[in-house]
Amino acid sequence: MRSVEEQQSRVAAAAVAPRPIHVAIAEAQGLMCAEEVVTEAPMPGFDQAAIDGYAVRSVDVLGVGSIGGDPEEADSAGGPVSLPVMGFIEAGARTPSRLQPRQAARVQTGAPMPTLADAVLPLRWTDGGDTRVQVLRGVRSGAYVRRTGDDVQPGDVAVRAGTIIGAAQVGLLAAVGRERVLVHPRPRLSVMSVGGELVDVARTPGNGQVYDVNSYALAAAGRDAGAEVTRVGIVDSDPQKLREVIEGQLARSEIVVIAGAVGGAAAESVRAVLGELGEMEVSRIAMHPGSVQGFGQLGDERVPTFLLPANPVSALVVFEVMIRPLIRLSLGKRQPMRRMVRARALSPITSVAGRTGYLRGQLMRDKDTDEYLVQALGGTPGESSHLLATLAEANCLVVVPDEVDQIRTGESVDVAFLAQRG
C-alpha cells in the first residue's frame, strides 16, 4: 500500500502548466501573469487636480489663514485674499490653459492643472465664488496635486511575472493602457462518469438506476480549484465508444478524471481501454475514504488521468487530496495545498490505523479564546461514508495521521479548510 505522500509526489511530478496565452485584461483575474508588464508612459500622464477646488499659485496665498489648515501654523496667518477666477476646467479638458499671477481657476477632480498653478485650494477653504473667490486658508506648493508620474514612471514594472492578477492588477493594467496581458491559462479538466446504473439528472431513474452525481460534483470541484472544466457526463462503456470519447478528451485537456472506474466488471473493461492509451495503475493508497484509485499518463501528450471511486464522497475526497493540488500547481500556485490549522476535537474521532483519514467536519472558533474547535460529521469506521448530506454540511476535512486510530475529546488535530460558502 502506497502512502498518501508518495502518491501525491507521483501526481505532482506530472504537473504541466499550459502554454501562456494573451487574454483580455477583463478575463485575467485569478490567473498568473506570464510577462513583465513595463510601462511606456508616466501615470498620471499630466499634472492633475486631486480634489475639487481652485488651482492657484501657492505664492499668491501664502500667509492666508493657517497654512494647509494646520492650527499650529496660524501664528503667521494673514487675512483673507480675494482672487479673480479665470474659468472652470473640467476633468477630461483637452485645451491647455495658463494661470496668470494672482489668479485662480475652478477645477474638478482629475482636471489638468493650468500652467503656473502648483496647488489646489479645497472648496472648504474658500467661499466657493464663481467670478472671484475669497481664500480663507493658504496651501503649500504641490498640495492636492497629482504630479506627472507620481504613480508610475516610464520603464517601471507595473505587474511582475508570477503575480496572481487581482482587482488591483487589472486596474493597473488598464491604467497603463494594456488591453491584453500574457497569462498562464487555467488547466483544462475533463470529467466523466462510467457505470451502467447511471442516468443523468434530466431523466427519472428506473429500478436499479441512480443519478450521475459524480460528473456534476467533480466538475464543480474542478471549477472551484481554478480549472476550465468540460463535464462530459455519462460515457458509454462500449470499448470502441469509450475509447473515442477518452481520446477526444485527451486531445483537449491537461487533466482527465473518470469516476466509477476502480471496482467491478465495468471498471475492468474501462482499464483495458485505458491500457491501450498509455500507463495506468490502479492501487491502494493509505487513506480513507477513497483508498482504491487509479492514476496514469495517457496519450501522446501523457495527460494525467485519474480513476476515482463510484462513491461520490470518496470521489470528492480523492479529488481534494490528489487532483486539486495538481490543478493549483498547473496554475503556478506556490502553495497548492489547503490551509491547515490545529483544532480541538469536540467529540471522539475514530479513524483507520495505517491509513490517513480525511473525515468531514465543521470548524468553529471560540469567540473568547480564538481557539479553533472541530466537530466530526461522520465518515468514521462503521458509519456511512457515502452520505453527501454530511459532506455538504462540512467546511473542513479532519486529517488524522495514519498511525492514529482515535482522537479523544479535547485533543488537537490537523484540519484543512474547505472553500468558504457564501
**Domain ranges in the chain?**
4-17+186-331, 21-41+165-184, 48-146, 340-417
* 3-state secondary structure string across 274-327: HHCCEEEEEEEECEECCCEEEEEEECCCCEEEEEECCCHHHHHHHHHHHHHHHH
Find the radius of gyration of the CA atoms of the chain: 32
CATH superfamily entry for domain 4-17+186-331 = MoaB/Mog-like domain (3.40.980.10)
Query: What is the pTM assigned to this prediction?
Result: 0.74
% of the chain residues with pLDDT over 90: 63
When the pLDDT of each residue in the chain is averaged and rounded to a whole number, the result is 88
Instruction: Report which of 306, 295, 196 is spatially closest to residue 256, judged by C-alpha positions.
Output: 306
Residues shown for the chain: 422
pLDDT, position 126: 93
Task: Give the list of residues 6+ apart from residue 355 with CB closer than 8 angstroms, or none.
Answer: 286, 287, 288, 291, 402
Would you state the CATH architecture of domain 340-417? Beta Barrel (2.40)
How would you classify the pairing of strands 145-146 and 48-49?
Answer: antiparallel
User: Which pLDDT value is given to residue 156?
Assistant: 85
Cell 500507463, residue located: 279
Q: What is the SS3 assignment for 32?
A: strand
- The residue that leads in pLDDT, 421 or 48, is 48
Q: Give 200-218 pLDDT, tens digit per residue.
A: 988 888 898 889 999 999 9
Architecture, CATH, for domain 48-146: Beta Complex (2.170)
C-alpha–C-alpha distance, residues 58 and 421, integer Å: 54
353-397 per-position pLDDT tens digit: 999 999 999 999 998 899 999 999 865 554 544 556 666 788 999
Long-range contacts from 221-225, C-beta under 8 angstroms, 24+ separation: 221/316, 221/319, 221/320, 221/323, 221/324, 222/189, 222/191, 222/257, 222/319, 222/323, 222/327, 224/419, 225/323, 225/324, 225/327, 225/328
